[in-house]
Amino acid sequence: MEATAAAREEIVRAACPHDCPDTCAMLVTVREEGGRKVAVKVAGDPEHPTTRGVLCTKVSRYLERTYHPERLLQPLKRVGRKGEGRFERVSWDSALDDIAARLQRIAAVDPQRIVPYSYAGTMGLVQGEAMASRFFHRLGASLLDRTICATAGGEALAHTLGIRSGPAMESFAEAKLIVLWGTNAIASNLHLWSFVQQAKRNGAKLIAVDPYRSDTAEKCHRHIALLPGTDGALALGLAHVLIREGWLDHDYIDRYTLGFEALAQRAAEFPPARVARLCGIGVEDVEQLAHEYWHIRPAAIRLNYGMQRCAGGGNAVRAVACLPALAGHWRDAAGGVLLSSSGVAEVDGARLYRPDLLGGRTPRTINMSTIGADLAAASPPIEALIVYDSNPVAVAPDSRAVAAGFAREDLFTVVLEHFRTDTADYADYVLPATTQLEHFDVHKSYGHLYVLANNPAIEPLGEALPNSEIFRRLAARMGFAEPCFAETDEQLAAQAFMRDGATASIDWQTLKRTGWQRLDVPQPYAPFADGGFPTPSGRCEFHSQALADLGLDPVPGYVPPHEAGDGPLAARYPLAMISPPARNFLNSTFVNVKSLRDAEGEPTLQIHPADAAARGIHDGERVRVFNDRGRFELAARVTDRARPGVVVALSIWWKKLAADGRNANEVTSARLTDMGRAPTFYDCRVEVARA
């Protein structure tokens, strides 16, 4: 903390906790008012190399969210029916005593009947899983497979590059060709976008690959509007042309890759004419992009998770991730492909999460993406669900099944939250959690190469407690006496990272003073300039024996969408719906912040003029979107930003803040991806009609 010139004001070094690749360094201005500390301003740290003084619109409103009149400030106990959202105030002691007693009764039969449900409401390592996973490991609860976002692409990278890594965010400023592939960076990766803008001013060419003309695609030089879920075909088509033309870095391929012949054989099946047909684009789109990809250097691809939410998401990421090795782009720090940088900073999971507390037990694993089906039919049944850092009733696919599961009267549900979300309405107990301004944390990033500290700026509001403290108190009541349950948040933060490699020099005491620190990796960062892929073979694996051993295709292939492509479903449900992030929300976070909700307006469905005309739909009219899984209503926006055959419902709205009490996940599917057991949110056929 540093005193500023103004009397009794101080600046606290913090970190944005949200599920966003930018992980911004924040400066919080705090003032003493009536003997209490009040946060009066949040700003981006001007000295942090990727934040560069800027917070996005959402987090600029962090004070409005923190001091929101509807913040949960006391523990609540359900008095109404499940989902009704009627609660009474109770004390922490009575809530925790009752929760511990209920969990003990269930655990006496089988602790696996208790299931944690969490994701990335906070990306902080302390308030995320540190104390929580110790608690659940000690209890012997079911394990949770955290697949809802990134595992298809993450496993694809692991089987290709060996690590989630790629060019540094700052290096994009130096690229001359930037392919924004399945990413609306202006909404979801604003700070990368500012480096892309810098590159553009220096003459770089920008190309978007996205079914939707997003804000980002609109500002690119070219936009390839392919059909959802066909990215694997496009990438193999590019490989086809590179190989056909001999646009190959033979030296790089010989020294640093494995399985070129197998990849060439696969790519031979994807001539541009076939690719154009599969992707619903022009032959010249494929030819021209391949030409540019060889001739313009450095060439950087920014992939985002949007393109792996279809049946073939894993193979598609693998196919794209092979391209830089073919063309030798990894040689340059501003070349290669960036999906995630999260593998560079390694968390010391053994110390932080303490899987040893399982003591040899091997509980079953529940996939968070199929929670609806599992609440209905898992065996042994799920009898208790502890939800934190997530809002599954709004965000999980096949929402009708999810809500039905949460509505089970025999399910005991505890939700740790800031607000009465759609999920909290189903809880038996809602426990008030602190926000980032009120607790310690430590962060790594999946978009840049820095770690950050978060210092508390203010005291917890009301009776709110940090997640860590809630699990600490529950552990004490359950009689868990291991010393690790007494560790403070700062002790947890201090043991978060491995003491070797890129995080060897991180010291918590220093970090919390300076706010952030670059990982110990070379600058400029060109991770695979000389090979060095941490795969089993040490090479970029076009052919992966590990995948073959899993019974999967060892060579990247094109796995067609479950639904979005031409199949039997196409006749009944002719439109493919995607529901990518809205700019003013972060998943379902911020939807209840009025200024941001006002900026977003109302839930809308963007539909191409031809598709609208065929259904007699006019701009602004209310429409119903439906399929066999469910239906929801919203306002039509007739626009050619949606390509023909594809409708776009920017997400994720709170159901209860939508006029019909529903959102896009009523129709999304819980079928899983080819790798990573992840959901296929953007692989979803629907029909649309006037409401």
Ligand X SMILES: Nc1nc2c(c(=O)[nH]1)N[C@H]1C(S)=C(S)[C@@H](COP(=O)(O)OP(=O)(O)OC[C@H]3O[C@@H](n4cnc5c(=O)[nH]c(N)nc54)[C@H](O)[C@@H]3O)O[C@H]1N2
Binding residues (CB under 6 A) for ligand SF4: these are 16, 18, 20, 22-24, 55-56, 58-59, 190, 586
**Does residue 188 belong to the site contacting ligand X (CB under 6 A)?**
yes
Which part of the chain contacts ligand X (CB under 6 A), choosing from 226-234, 358-366, 524-532, 539-547?
Answer: 226-234
Residues contacting residue 626 through CB under 8 Å, at least 6 positions apart: 632, 667, 686, 687, 688, 689
Place of tokens 């492509």: 565
* End-to-end Cα, the chain, rounded Å: 55
Which part of the chain contacts ligand X (CB under 6 A), choosing from 27-35, 251-259, 416-424, 482-490?
Answer: 416-424
Picked from Mo ion, ligand X, ligand SF4, none, the partner binding residue 579 (CB below 5 to 8 A depending on kind) is ligand X
Q: Is residue 477 classed exposed, middle or buried when 0-12, 13-18 and 19+ CB atoms within 10 A define those classes?
A: middle
Rounded-to-10 torsion of CA 487, 491, 493, 498: -100
**Does residue 194 belong to the site contacting ligand X (CB under 6 A)?**
no
Contact 73, 461 (CB under 8 A): yes
24 versus 623: smaller Cβ distance to ligand SF4: 24
Compute φ and ψ for 88, nearest 5 degrees.
-125, 155
Picked from ligand X, Mo ion, ligand SF4, none, the partner binding residue 555 (CB below 5 to 8 A depending on kind) is none
Contact 424, 415 (CB under 8 A): yes
Question: Shortest Cβ distance from residue 234 to ligand X (Å)?
Answer: 8
d(CA 605, CA 608): 10
Helix axes 313-327, 151-158, angle to 10 degrees: 40
Contact 237, 272 (CB under 8 A): yes
Q: Which position among 78, 137, 191, 418 is part of the footprint of ligand X (CB under 6 A)?
A: 418
Residue closest to Mo ion (Cβ): 149
**Does residue 604 belong to the site contacting ligand X (CB under 6 A)?**
no
What the block records as the tokens of 345 is 């900073």
**Does residue 127 belong to the site contacting ligand X (CB under 6 A)?**
yes
158 versus 506: smaller Cβ distance to Mo ion: 158
Question: Shortest Cβ distance from residue 638 to ligand SF4 (Å)?
Answer: 31
Reduced to 3 states, what is the DSSP secondary structure of residue 490?
A: helix
**Does residue 681 belong to the site contacting ligand X (CB under 6 A)?**
yes
Question: Shortest Cβ distance from residue 19 to Mo ion (Å)?
Answer: 5
CB atoms within 10 A of CB 563: 24
Question: Shortest Cβ distance from residue 19 to ligand SF4 (Å)?
Answer: 8
Question: Shortest Cβ distance from residue 387 to ligand X (Å)?
Answer: 8
* Sequence letter at residue 671: R
149 versus 484: smaller Cβ distance to Mo ion: 149
Sequence-ordered strand ranges (E) for 20-73: 25-33, 36-44
**Does residue 668 belong to the site contacting ligand X (CB under 6 A)?**
yes
Question: Shortest Cβ distance from residue 389 to ligand X (Å)?
Answer: 5
Site map for ligand X, 167-186, x if CB under 6 A? --------------xxxx--
**Does residue 121 belong to the site contacting ligand X (CB under 6 A)?**
yes
d(CA 359, CA 95): 29
56 versus 623: smaller Cβ distance to ligand SF4: 56
Picked from ligand SF4, ligand X, Mo ion, none, the partner binding residue 55 (CB below 5 to 8 A depending on kind) is ligand SF4
d(CA 414, CA 393): 13
d(CA 202, CA 591): 37
- DSSP H or E stretch at residue 215: helix 215-218
Picked from ligand SF4, Mo ion, ligand X, none, the partner binding residue 542 (CB below 5 to 8 A depending on kind) is none
CA distances, 25 to each of 1, 78, 452, 493 (Å): 14, 38, 7, 17
* Sequence letter at residue 672: L
Do strands 412-417 and 429-432 pair parallel, antiparallel, or not at all (unpaired)?
Answer: parallel
149 versus 636: smaller Cβ distance to Mo ion: 149
**Does residue 306 belong to the site contacting ligand X (CB under 6 A)?**
yes
What the block records as the tokens of 611 is 């598709």
Site map for ligand X, 312-351, x if CB under 6 A? ----------------------------------------
190 versus 670: smaller Cβ distance to ligand SF4: 190
Picked from ligand X, ligand SF4, Mo ion, none, the partner binding residue 454 (CB below 5 to 8 A depending on kind) is none
275 versus 452: smaller Cβ distance to ligand SF4: 452
Site map for ligand X, 395-414, x if CB under 6 A? x-------------------
Q: Which position among 411, 664, 672, 688 is part of the footprint of ligand X (CB under 6 A)?
A: 664
CA distances, 619 to each of 208, 605, 649, 663 (Å): 26, 10, 14, 20
Residues contacting residue 242 through CB under 8 Å, at least 6 positions apart: 248, 290, 293, 294, 323, 326, 327
- The string over 679-688, giving b where at least 16 C-beta atoms fall within 10 Å of a residue's C-beta and e elsewhere, is bbbbbbbbbb
Closest CA to 435 of 90, 63, 40, 53: 63
Q: Give how many residues touch ligand X by CB under 6 A.
A: 57
Question: Shortest Cβ distance from residue 598 to ligand SF4 (Å)?
Answer: 18
Contact 414, 116 (CB under 8 A): no
Question: Shortest Cβ distance from residue 533 to ligand SF4 (Å)?
Answer: 29
Residue closest to ligand X (Cβ): 121
390 versus 495: smaller Cβ distance to ligand X: 390
d(CA 463, CA 109): 33
Residues contacting residue 281 through CB under 8 Å, at least 6 positions apart: 224, 225, 226, 234, 275
Picked from ligand X, Mo ion, ligand SF4, none, the partner binding residue 670 (CB below 5 to 8 A depending on kind) is none
149 versus 321: smaller Cβ distance to Mo ion: 149
**Does residue 674 belong to the site contacting ligand X (CB under 6 A)?**
no
Binding to ligand X in span 557-596, by CB under 6 A: 578-581, 583, 585-589
Instruction: By CB under 6 A, name the binding residues for ligand X.
Output: 19-20, 119-122, 127, 148-149, 181-184, 187-188, 209-212, 214, 228-229, 231, 304-307, 310, 388-391, 395, 416-419, 421, 433, 467, 578-581, 583, 585-589, 651-652, 664-665, 668, 681-682
